[in-house]
Amino acid sequence: MRRSIREATEPRWTRTAAWVAVLAMAAVAIGAPLAFADTDELPVRAPDFTLPNLDGTEISLADYLGSVVILDFWASWCAPCTRALPNIHLLEETYADRGVVLLLLCFDKNEEDARAYLVENEYATDNVLWGSLKDARAVRDLFGVNSVTHTLVIGPDGYIRYSGHPEKVTAEVLEPWLPVEVVVDPSEDPNV
């Protein structure tokens, strides 16, 4: 088969890169979920899902519209996950009064392993979502996440504002999406 002059002189990687770009644009056009890093990409609406927590209560992401949700893809057997957990819990505790909620999507093979780790380390279980490993994987796929040790920050408007490693979730990541605190000087308050 004869190749055109363009095909003969153009590096193969250039054509491959062009096709990758075309496929990525097509995925965006049809609304396929895309994983993106940190907050540099345009926000994507977080898809809703419902899973039971370890206490048996059904939890839907839509229930938290209006709150800043830290959604952590987590497993008790994952060393990077367990290393990042104290910091994420501290962020939730620090900003809970400003509407920050932490949901842990658990990838343990059974709920007993997750519960044992959490209880032993004095963490709550009501924010840990576990229906089954199959259910957790379905939610992971819904968000386009490739592995555990991944965290999303979902703004009060329901859009993903951060996607990346949980150790990079800091106060600076959360602050832009928190409601503004209004401090009233008691001397200026007519109700005092």
pLDDT in tens, 145-164: 988 889 999 999 999 999 99
Mean pLDDT computed over every residue of the chain? 81
Return d(Cα 149, Cα 28) in angstroms, integer. 25
Structural domain span for residue 11: 1-32
Number of structural domains (the chain) is 2
Report if residue 183 sits inside a domain. no
Q: Diameter of the chain by CA atoms?
A: 88
Over residues 57-112, the pLDDT tens digits come to 999 999 999 999 999 999 999 999 999 999 999 999 999 999 999 999 999 998 89
Pair 101, 150 in one domain? yes
Nearest partner of 74 among 158, 150, 17, 145, judged by Cα? 150
Same domain, 71 and 159: yes
Instruction: Confirm whether 185 is domain-assigned.
Output: no
- Shared domain for 13 and 68, answered yes or no, is no
Q: Is the model's pLDDT at 135 over the cut of 60?
A: yes
**113/63 same-domain check:** yes
Q: Beta partners for 102?
A: 70
- Distance, in Å, from the CA atom of 76 to the CA atom of 116, rounded to the nearest integer, reads 9
Which CATH number goes with the domain that contains 69? 3.40.30.10
Tell me if 190 is assigned to some domain: no
Does the pTM of the predicted model rise above 0.85? no
Give the pLDDT mean for 172-187. 79
